Structure 1
Amino acid sequence: MKLTLGFSPCPNDTFIFDALIHHKIDTEGLDFDVEYQDVETLNLKAFKGDLAITKLSYHAFAYAVEDYELLDAGSALGFGVGPMLITKDENLARKLQEKLNKGEPLTAELELLKVGYPGKYTTANFLLGLAFPQLKNKEELVFSEIEGALLAGDIDLGLIIHENRFTYEEKGLFKVVDLGDYWEKTTNCPIPLGGIVVKRSLPKEIKEKLNRILRASVDFAFANPKSGLAFIKAHAQEMSEEVMYKHIELYVNKYSIALGKEGRAAIEMMFDKAQQMGFIPKTDKNLFLA
């Protein structure tokens, strides 16, 4: 049986899926037609139901939950892994930090700041809304273009994800806030960034098989971390091997093997909080593969 599968070309996803798509593990008779897309493209594809299995952001999952449910393996959650709001103006960084720390609303001038962000349905955008709900002047950019737009003066603030958290300082940019850290201090939970979902309409035995083989793929990757090096490098965004593996260590952890009670509780808290604030629609669907 062949199924459509979408995930990002980022090292954490290619690390997780290498063994599965290259049959380094027993895939129990399943094969895959793979698409590599940035997370916002995958989010939009999920809204249309284009893929049988896909990576998406947890924010987007709220808009796709009627048609998809979450696999227990493959998720990106953790502490110290959140998106970051950055700027090239150190004084602006300090000013915004002060407002956030004191819980003060932004001035009219600060509300007009232009923010480059990686997509409406990204978890990064959800977290930005929690910290700075008044920042409405946004421009959607591919995540890899945000640092350049800041340096060029096209935007005032940039919301960065993935490996850019390792490179912004060497480019002379300054952190306003680590939004993952902000979430953790507010909730005492790991931050849910992205997960792997499967179409609810697939037979139960296929969904359970997918969960088993995805976990086996993650287990294989941890046991053989260099096995997929050529594959990971081929899709990585011009980064050194050291940065690639820093990226993997940050986003692939125990929650990628299995969510467990702690991981599930964090996801439920995100949904509850987002629903209370009117960021996402309410649902009576079970989020998790039963």
Structure 2
Amino acid sequence: MNIAFSPCPNDTFVFYAWVHGLIKDAPALDVTYADIDKTNNWAAEGQGPEVMKISYAALPWVLKDYALVPCGGALGRGCGPLVLTNSSSKDPSQLSGRKVAVPSERSTAYLLFRLWAAEHVPGGVGEIIVMPFNEIMPAVRDGRIDAGLVIHEARFTYHNYGLSMLTDLGNWWEEDTKLPIPLGAIIAHRSMDAGAIAKWARASVDYAWSHPEETNDYVMKHAQELSEDVAKSHIDLYVNDFTAELGEDGYGAITELLGRAMREGLVPEFDLELLKK
């Protein structure tokens, strides 16, 4: 079976057992390691592997062809995207008319940023530039952009670039909704058995939790020069109970995010019931 997910520690940790043939009756995986911006576009264009990790914000474009798999993704609390600048000021108006880099136009991070900016940035931001998330912090540091929207391990490393956090969009979302933050979703083409895929993914998560040290070499091989401590912090933050099963709060968070985005005209109209079909 073909699958695409990122080389980030949470994804490699989650899928370690399945990738290495340790899940009974699960098909062998042919893995493509790809940035979330690529998988978001592949899914929207009907291209790419049968199973992919994409942003929850990209679901409105793909749910007719792909089903949401209720296991293996990334939701949580205290793990939201950050807006970073070179300034120590906490005044959001500094972004008015400015140049901001984002990791994907269809990322959950960018959708949260748009919802936040509509309330907090007078007149709106200026130019939006999409770039790979690992290039954003150097670009802010070097003054090539005015602010950057960062995800994943950047939460732990932005101080190394001399940057300041303007806002934590996860904190804003949680305070506003009391719900977790929907970040990355696992989807399967509707020609596939999403229930079986969820079962195998859940078994892979359980195996990794039971044998964390065994996953280390594979995780670090793909960890883009992260230290082991940062990789572990990344896994601890993003691999949680919602990874094993979305549950009522997980589905509630996704419905709130995408329902709000539809009302604001930020995503195409779609049937929210497709999230569970």
Q: Give the whole-Å Cα distance in 1 for the aligned partners of 2:90 and 2:70.
A: 40
Corresponding position: 1:227 with 2:227: no
Paired residues in the alignment total 271
Check conservation: 1:69, 1:286, Cα contact below 8 A. no
The alignment's C-alpha RMSD in Å is: 1.3
Tell me if the contact between 1:86 and 1:158 (Cα under 8 Å) persists in the aligned partners.
yes
Match of 2:184 among 190, 194, 202: 194
> What are the within-5 Å matches in structure 2 for residues 42-81 of structure 1?
42-50=39-47, 51-81=49-79
Q: Distance in 1 between matches of 2:59 and 2:271?
A: 14
**Structure 1 residue matching 2:274: 3-state secondary structure:** coil
Aligned residues of 2:26 and 2:200 also touching (Cα < 8 A): no
Q: Residue 63 of structure 2 contacts residue 275 of structure 2 at CA under 8 Å; is this kept in 1?
A: no
Matching of residue 243 in structure 1 with residue 230 in structure 2: yes
Write the mapping of 1:45-194 to structure 2, written as runs, cut at 5 A.
45-50=42-47, 51-90=49-88, 93-96=89-92, 106=93, 110-133=95-118, 134-194=124-184
Distance 1:136 1:62, change over 3 A: farther
Identity of aligned residues (%): 39
Question: Which of 13, 16, 19 is the matching residue for 1:15?
Answer: 13
- Give 2:70's aligned amino acid: D
Judging changes above 3 Å, is the alpha-carbon distance between structure 1 residues 110 and 191 closer, same or farther for their aligned structure 2 residues?
Answer: closer
With normalisation by structure 1, the TM-score equals: 0.90
Look up the match of 2:23. Answer: 25
Shift, 1:29, TM fit? 4.8
Contact 2:90-2:167 at 8 Å conserved across structures:
no
The one-letter amino acid of 1:39's match is I
TM-score normalised per structure 2: 0.94
Structure 1: which 5+ residue stretches go unaligned?
Answer: 97-105
- After TM superposition, the runs of 4+ consecutive aligned structure 1 residues lying more than 4 A away are none
Report the Cα distance in structure 2 between the residues aligned to 1:199 and 1:13, rounded to whole angstroms. Answer: 19
